[in-house]
Amino acid sequence: MGNKQGKKKKELKKQKEKNQRIEQMMQLEQNDLLSEIMLLVLGTGDSGKSTFVKQAQLLYKNGFSEKERDRFKKAIRKNLILHLKLLIRGSYDFGLELKRSNERLARKFLDIDERSKLTEKTISSVRKLWKDPIIKDVFEKRVSLQIPDTANYFLDSLERIVDNDYLPNNQDIINCRIPTTGINELQFQVDGNPWRIVDVGGQRSERRKWIHHFKHATIVLFVVAISEYDQYLFEDQNINRMFESLELFHNIAKKGTFVKTDFILIFNKMDLFKKKIKTSTPKKCFKDYKGGHHASAAKEFITRKFLKVGKTKKRKVYPMYTSATNNLTIQNTFDKIISNVVENLM
In 3D, which of 28, 37, 329 has the Cα closest to residue 189? 37
pLDDT at 72 over 60: yes
Which range is most confident: 43-52, 185-194, 198-207, 264-273? Answer: 264-273
Beta bridge partners of 315: none
Q: What are phi and psi of 233, to 5 degrees?
A: -65, 150
Q: Are strands 193-200 and 183-190 parallel, antiparallel or unpaired?
A: antiparallel
Candidate from 70-84, 162-176, 290-304, 313-327 with smallest mean pLDDT: 313-327
Beta bridge partners of 263: 220, 317
- Non-local (6+) Cβ contacts of 33 within 8 A are 216
Task: Give mean pLDDT, residues 293-317.
Answer: 92
* Global pTM value: 0.83
Q: Between 261 and 2, name the one with better pLDDT.
A: 261
In 3D, which of 130, 131, 144 has the Cα closest to residue 93? 144
Quote the pLDDT of residue 254: 83
Residue pair 38/168 in contact (Cβ under 8 Å)? The answer is no
Secondary structure of residue 11 in the 3-state scheme: helix
Chain centroid, CA 171 distance in Å? 16
Secondary structure of residue 240 in the 3-state scheme: strand
Q: Residue 317 and residue 180: Cα distance in Å, rounded?
A: 25
All structural domains of the chain, each given as residue ranges with its CATH number in brackets, are 43-62+181-213+220-337 (3.40.50.300), 66-175 (1.10.400.10)
